Amino acid sequence: MGEFDNKEREEVFSKKVRAGKRTYFFDVKATRSGDYYLTVTESKKRLEDGVFVKHKIFLYKEDFEKFAEGLTETVEYIKTHQDVVEKRYEYSENGEHSTKPNDDFSF
């Protein structure tokens, strides 16, 4: 990639969230004109071959409000129609993890 391509996708902020077998990346990037946008990446290691499979969505600032409304409404629907238990993961030095259930599931 040339310098132009790197500048177009300048990373401003990044948050990594480990959740069991998946890792989520929330990355704020800037366009050449300085506008921010969000990429959300899900990464999961395939057991059969050890390859990481990634899925990515791009969310632009003009869509933040509608996206947040839709996400909140969907999460509330699930929370009112099913018990949701968030698992807390503890990682050890050897890469193994165990879960701790936690009934406090909120966004």
Q: How many CB atoms lie within 10 A of CB 25?
A: 15
Sign of CA dihedral 17, 23, 24, 29: positive
The CA distances from residue 80 to 51, 54, 85, in Å, are 36, 30, 13
70-103 pLDDT, tens digit per residue, is 999 999 999 999 987 777 665 555 555 555 544 4
Question: What domains sit in the chain, N to C, each tagged with a CATH number?
Answer: 11-81 (3.10.450.700)
Q: How many CB atoms lie within 10 A of CB 45?
A: 12
C-alpha 54/C-alpha 52 separation (Å) is: 6
Contact 26, 9 (CB under 8 A): no
C-alpha 106/C-alpha 85 separation (Å) is: 10
31 is written with which tokens?
């366009």
The structure's pTM equals 0.68
| Model confidence at 59: pLDDT above 60 | yes
| Model confidence at 21: pLDDT above 80 | yes
